[in-house]
Chains A and B, each alone.
Chain A
């Protein structure tokens, strides 16, 4: 699973940092850094973070598979 955080929307509520600290990290007061490639064992936590984000800024999905067709 890949994630991208729409940092235009992100307001640093930090719910994701609380729910999946291995993936999301606050750097200072408002700088959100995250791992774009989510490790298998973090999937559940990241799904919770996606649901909990007050501004719904986290988008998850699979990368484009250019060979798919």
Chain B
């Protein structure tokens, strides 16, 4: 006999942004039972976006980005211990230290980790890094401060581009190698990738597109450079592998959930699906590890690696965990993303990858201040602003109301559109990129894989 949903035992696995916001919201919504938050990192929840910005620039210490609490979560924090398994029938989370935690309701918020360089012996060279954790950022910042002659960044997604930007700002030479046709192309499409390429080159980045790195070279265990697929060689002291993220789902391999490389599938109310596509009612999912349907994007399953999504989805999941069925809410937030690099703020609302055409609605490529609006089959599905963040809300409304694309003159604040005719948005297949896209449309079907393929790294 289920009791009051505001009582009982809740376990949150994942102690980063989504886990923290969920824990706070549970208490805000009146949960009075026992609350345990498990995190594999030894630190209290911290903010990651500054790691590739302020921390690399040296204006904030790597251990200074602890997230403020909105309210006391009155939780037991089990930090520095990894969840290794889930017994959904016995309703227990298994921990690496041999302990197990019983739950009545569980929230999965294990997020992602950096995709490692595929060759472990090359990845182990001194001077080869990834950037995801506080430790990663601390050591990389230290090495950048030591004044390397050149840094090689592999992958020109948002993280790789932000790292390259920090290098240039510190006066460090940097080469960026990207397999796709341009930086950020997976998230923004080919047209804006050209603009991003121009921004990088204008800031002195040695940008190489359409190439892959075939081998990392070292001498006496130290990284010295890399071979590229076009036959060229880059000599560098540091290498940052920015190949996107892997979802932390391995611990769920035997849990019978729809968990796979794209994340853990859940319904609009953040309830996890089993591998048979049956929705659970005691296992919830939030943040980067989730994969959820969105009505604005034809109910395709979306995987988002967005700060704002982690917050919004954690709040909805927490609300639903302590609310009876009819009072539950759907997670329908329009995705919003930002990045700052080379002195510009890029913001995106909607899903630019869900588009067939794009038009510049305001500003120009030349003045590097613009709004690009994306459409799919005649309706607005996304907008990207470059240093025009105040317009984001306006375009969010157009997306939410499925406004016609191309947008009318009103969309540009009463001015005529800069380009009268839309051009193809040129969104590539994400498989052809060095960097993972931060938004992935993963299709309608739950993952068919029942086992997780572990990467070689």
Contact = CB atoms under 8 A, between A and B. Distances in A.
A binds B: yes
A12 B307 CA distance: 18
Q: Looking at chain B's contact residues, is the secondary structure mostly helix, strand, loop, or mixed?
A: mixed
A28 B69 contact: no
A59 B79 CA distance: 24
B402 interface: no
Interface string A44-66: 00000000000000011111111
A35 B59 contact: yes
Contact of B50 (A36, A61, A62, A64): A36
A40 to B, nearest CB: 14
Interface stretch (B82-90, B92-100, B340-348): B340-348
A63 B66 contact: yes
A37 B50 CA distance: 12
A69 B340 contact: no
Q: How large is the interface on A (under 10, 10 to 19, 20 to 34, 35 or more residues)?
A: 20 to 34
Contacts of B337: 8
B64 A35 contact: yes
Contacts, number: 101
Contacts of B307: 6-8
Interface stretch (B70-78, B172-180, B226-234, B278-286): B70-78
Nearest to B337: A8
Interface stretch (B41-49, B117-125, B262-270, B350-358): B41-49
A12 B369 CA distance: 14
Contact of B60 (A31, A36, A64): A36
A65 B389 contact: no
A1 interface: yes
B305 to A, nearest CB: 13
Nearest to B345: A30
Contacts of A64: 20, 44-45, 66-67, 69, 73, 77
A12 B45 CA distance: 26
Interface in A2-59: 2-4, 6-8, 10-12, 25, 27-37, 59
Contacts of B61: 37
B82 to A, nearest CB: 16
B67 A4 contact: yes
A8 B387 contact: no
B389 A62 contact: no
Nearest to A12: B389
A66 B79 contact: yes
Contact of B76 (A6, A28, A69): A69
A27 B340 contact: yes
Nearest to B69: A61
B457 interface: no
B66 A2 contact: yes
Contacts of B73: 64
B344 A8 contact: no
B64 A37 contact: yes
Contact of B389 (A3, A6, A10, A69): A10
Contact of B390 (A4, A11, A35, A59): A11
Nearest to A34: B54
A3 B68 contact: yes
A54 to B, nearest CB: 10
B345 A63 contact: no
Interface in B164-219: none
Pick the 9 closest A-B CB pairs, nearest first. A61-B68, A28-B343, A63-B66, A64-B44, A66-B77, A8-B308, A30-B345, A37-B64, A31-B340
Interface of B: 20, 44-45, 47, 49-50, 53-54, 57, 59-61, 64-70, 73-74, 76-77, 79, 307-308, 311, 336-338, 340, 343-345, 347, 369, 387, 389-390, 392
13 contacts: A4-B47, A4-B68, A7-B338, A8-B308, A29-B344, A29-B369, A30-B344, A34-B54, A36-B47, A59-B68, A61-B68, A64-B44, A66-B77
Interface of A: 1-4, 6-8, 10-12, 25, 27-37, 59-66, 69
